[in-house]
A and B are shown apart, each in its own frame.
Chain A
């Protein structure tokens, strides 16, 4: 959500319910909610804001699939193709014995790539300077943010006020 020098309408709440009401009301009048900032995930807000379902599970699936094939390939290559030894009279192709390692690698790669994808998509990285919409977002405040470009700012502010915003202000900043 970085784009430079926008002006935003920021409404802060102490009550998630109120914020939820505000979002619904705004959406009812086709306002586009830029984002909501909260100390914890508010249930029902996804639908209210119309956030689409994340596609991260696909990453997991593909990465896992790749890892599984890779792991099996590694084991078949090393123990059968490249260096086939007589180990305890067992047949070369002891596929069953290869299951545990395959599973572990699948989980490992699947998990790590999911997290990586998440951090990439949400542009989180070590040392990034936070851009807070309002004071106490990470403590007990909730903020509803609209972009100034939104057609009827006055209307929006009205709705927000009605829905119980504690403070409503317009400020230019980077989010």
Chain B
């Protein structure tokens, strides 16, 4: 199934019965210690060995029976595919019951994070971050974590389709080739419309394709566009790129409507940098955020200033004016200030100036003028080349709005003969999708490479489904000269074909093989450049094993200089402000990508649909976020449906009252309201992409001059949290940086509460956890990671409305301060594994007790479901199976279909109806690590065990370890001055501790 290694030494290994997978490592440990680690079953099949090979025990026999059944079933579900070895034949890579880990690259979005994917019995079942990656560390995001479920999506195409009818690949290829010939003959255009592509080999294939077809155009299109930044950089620095930002080098960060911790550009990477730069132990950076809706980023800022989208430009200019003044540069007219709070801006400007060269101004707004002003700001602050890297730019978004617009026009003019749509869905997410569809009808042959139905693929002639990325080879270059490889984790489930091979085929290659192509590409283009390896095989194997390769391109680009006319940009903004009408009962709409669904391509992923929004905690749908003040003024209540009338049409949405929302701005998430996507995502929420518009060749994600009227209807939102005030309880404790530096009252001197009873004897471990409230950004990657690892069921909107969400880890959101601009905190909350657990005492049947290793364990098959334990849990982290959530038509999500159930983790039992469940601190991972250590005849090392949530966390906020071991990180953190336990005074003595949130208020704001 994987590529195999052909070197001498590998062959020898195979002969002596070693798995031939020494290039694949199962854990960092193994990577360091070499392949011998895979020599034995980590699980150790004790029964079989114990009973001696001669007489297998009953359990052993049943175990083997069970496996062989599973194996037969699995192997039966697909025929042999090139480069894949079906389980029927058996594979050295796969030891039954033992997971393998392979490095690959995420294609959940174009950020192209490096991944390590857990593969169990031939099935990828868990996405993990790749610690080898210099960019992303071992972090992942919620979307990335959920992509593994999209692989097992029932909605996926089973094979190629011609005009709605299943077809053969050859037949389709022939039709397309004919059409291409016809196009060439008629000198008509052939267009490839794709999302951002940063895979060098794929770009090469497309180039090859264009050589075959002279009048060929390739248009890249991102529904959430960044081309404003590229355009601005083109004019300011002569480079149409998105710079590579370094938030970790910045001491002062000013964000202008850029949710860089949630969804913007490369959130995993940025969150990692951000957290690193804000550790209270050092001197944490200052973060000022100007934004209209409360975003994940804004909720973490030291200073957050709510603004209307229309004010953004004015603020940028005002900042530039101040900074320019300090820099002694003239050119920004001393016009009138449109943003009221002048001294705030002064303070921000001072801070920026104070940290010249180690500050950073970023803006996510897709507007050339504003981005130009931001460029000028960074230039005068000397950040170019320091925190803003233009020489090694980011290639994570390369879409071009104007090119897209031009293509749509061309289609409507009937110039496009053949259109190939690859990885985009403009019929849903283009600002003028109707216009696009009209154009599409004028195309004589339209082909979609989409691997599952969407609004666009339903309208094309031919569907040539691509693999899911976990089935495919691939490479990527997210940031210039940082490469990463992707390899298949499973043979294609259906009759799909890699898009690259499809393109190669149409470029004339009769027997396309993307694997060999990519290998050759790396041999020709990357191997020569790199210095470390002297044989290509070594280079390739290592790159494939690590998944990433940093290959600095020989040429050192010179530092760019600010050249474009930024004063003009400032002027345009100010003129715009002059004309802008201010009217109190006219509002502005601001559209944003939600952390879960992003641009909507993952809408059919039930995990993401049920992922509570990090801020509002609402699941299953989008809403109109309005400020409390506005709600009071208009008498709006939550869930009340309002009609929003704009120049581009009107929509109806339920209201959510969002503290910190700008008073005159209403924020709405894009990505909802998909109509053709599959069961889970169909008609969830409302599609607001049609309200976005094109202005000056750029996609704008806000509208002014919007009227709001009530409809009298209500549409109850499915929120997982209804009360956001801490009521002055010791739940999230805070301290200030000053206090912390002085030592203050916080500290080790704090005595533990006395306990009534003698300490219970424990085994050799006492597992515990520590969660850094300062590092947690609320990104929610851990929630999905836990769901994937522990087979947590999806329950659907109705059940969430009934407050029956099943997540084992939730992230509590609390506000304090004024509701128009509150301070917010995110608190991951899961079973606290109390040593004096109230839940245990009340269970009549001893279904929950404290293990000899300090875990509060739940025995499912003993539980009779009295729910007494959940009632008596102070943290309310226990989850009850109100219904049977598996294989139950009433809950038609992934667990209801055989395909969807392939994602289940065999190491974690699927709970039956009527039993209680909760966080187990990933006891299955603990057990595995202990077995491995046992066979390695060594102690369990701290690095051996990472809980799913810890592994997924991009900011390393979660630390798991052994409290018995005084040198473990978690034990040390228990001694940290910031350490505290939630509701400590109850005396339940949790093994899960927290580190206080550290506030670093800006002195003069």
Contact = CB atoms under 8 A, between A and B. Distances in A.
Query: Are A and B bound to each other?
Result: yes
A75 to B, nearest CB: 13
A87 B757 contact: no
25 contacts: A83-B846, A85-B846, A85-B849, A85-B850, A86-B849, A86-B850, A87-B841, A87-B846, A88-B834, A88-B836, A88-B838, A88-B839, A88-B840, A88-B841, A88-B850, A89-B755, A89-B834, A89-B836, A89-B837, A89-B850, A89-B989, A90-B757, A90-B836, A90-B841, A91-B758
Lowest 6 A-B CB distances belong to which pairs? A88-B841, A89-B836, A88-B840, A86-B850, A85-B849, A86-B760
A87 B836 CA distance: 8
The size class of the interface chain B forms with chain A is: 10 to 19
B835 interface: yes
Nearest to A87: B840
Interface string A69-88: 00000000000000101111
Given A86-B852, A88-B850, A91-B757, 20 more contacts: A83-B846, A85-B846, A85-B849, A86-B760, A86-B840, A86-B850, A87-B846, A87-B849, A87-B850, A88-B838, A88-B839, A88-B840, A89-B755, A89-B760, A89-B835, A89-B836, A89-B989, A90-B757, A90-B841, A91-B758
A16 B840 CA distance: 63
Interface in A112-171: none
Contacts of B841: 87-88, 90
A89 B756 CA distance: 10
Contacts of A86: 760, 840, 849-852
Interface in B233-257: none
Interface string A84-101: 011111110000000000
A91 to B, nearest CB: 5
A88 B755 CA distance: 12
Nearest to B849: A85
Contacts of A87: 840-841, 846, 849-850
B990 to A, nearest CB: 12
Interface of A: 83, 85-91
A85 B758 CA distance: 14
A91 B834 CA distance: 15
A29 B758 CA distance: 75
A93 to B, nearest CB: 10
Interface string B969-996: 0000000000000000000010000000
Nearest to B872: A88
Q: Which of A87, A88, A91 has the most CB of B within 10 A?
A: A88
Nearest to A89: B836
A83 B839 CA distance: 19
A11 to B, nearest CB: 61
B762 to A, nearest CB: 8
Contacts of B849: 85-87
A89 B757 contact: yes
Contacts of B837: 88-89
Contacts of B758: 91
B875 to A, nearest CB: 15
B389 to A, nearest CB: 54
Nearest to B835: A89
Contacts of B839: 88
B959 to A, nearest CB: 24
A17 B93 CA distance: 103
A85 B841 CA distance: 11
Contacts of A90: 757, 836, 841
Interface in B714-768: 755, 757-758, 760
A88 B852 CA distance: 12
Contacts of A85: 846, 849-850
A97 to B, nearest CB: 9
B429 to A, nearest CB: 53
Contacts of A88: 834, 836-841, 850
Nearest to A78: B846
B855 to A, nearest CB: 10
B22 to A, nearest CB: 43
A90 B987 CA distance: 12
B873 to A, nearest CB: 12
Nearest to A85: B849
A86 B851 CA distance: 7
A65 B358 CA distance: 83
Contacts of B760: 86, 89
A90 B834 CA distance: 12
Contacts of B846: 83, 85, 87
Nearest to B836: A89
Nearest to B838: A88
Interface string B818-850: 000000000000000011111111000010011
A84 to B, nearest CB: 10
B710 to A, nearest CB: 52
A163 to B, nearest CB: 64
A76 B621 CA distance: 55
Nearest to B852: A86
A13 B293 CA distance: 99
Q: Which of A85, A86, A87, A91 has the most CB of B within 10 A?
A: A86
Contacts of B755: 89
A86 B846 CA distance: 10
Interface in B840-870: 840-841, 846, 849-852
A88 B990 CA distance: 11
Contacts of B851: 86
A102 B362 CA distance: 71
Q: Which of B755, B760, B852 has the most CB of A within 10 A?
A: B760
Contacts of A83: 846
Contacts of A89: 755, 757, 760, 834-837, 850, 989
A100 B269 CA distance: 60
A162 B752 CA distance: 90
Nearest to B850: A86
Contacts of B757: 89-91
A85 B845 CA distance: 12
A89 B229 CA distance: 59
Interface string B10-51: 000000000000000000000000000000000000000000
A86 B839 CA distance: 12
A89 B851 CA distance: 10
B752 to A, nearest CB: 14
A83 B835 CA distance: 19
A90 B843 CA distance: 13
A85 B850 CA distance: 8
B847 to A, nearest CB: 11
B835 to A, nearest CB: 5
A85 B838 CA distance: 15
A148 to B, nearest CB: 64
Nearest to B989: A89
Contacts of B834: 88-89
Contacts of B850: 85-89
B979 to A, nearest CB: 20
Contacts of B840: 86-88
B23 to A, nearest CB: 45
A83 B859 CA distance: 15
A88 B850 CA distance: 7
A2 to B, nearest CB: 49
A91 B850 CA distance: 12
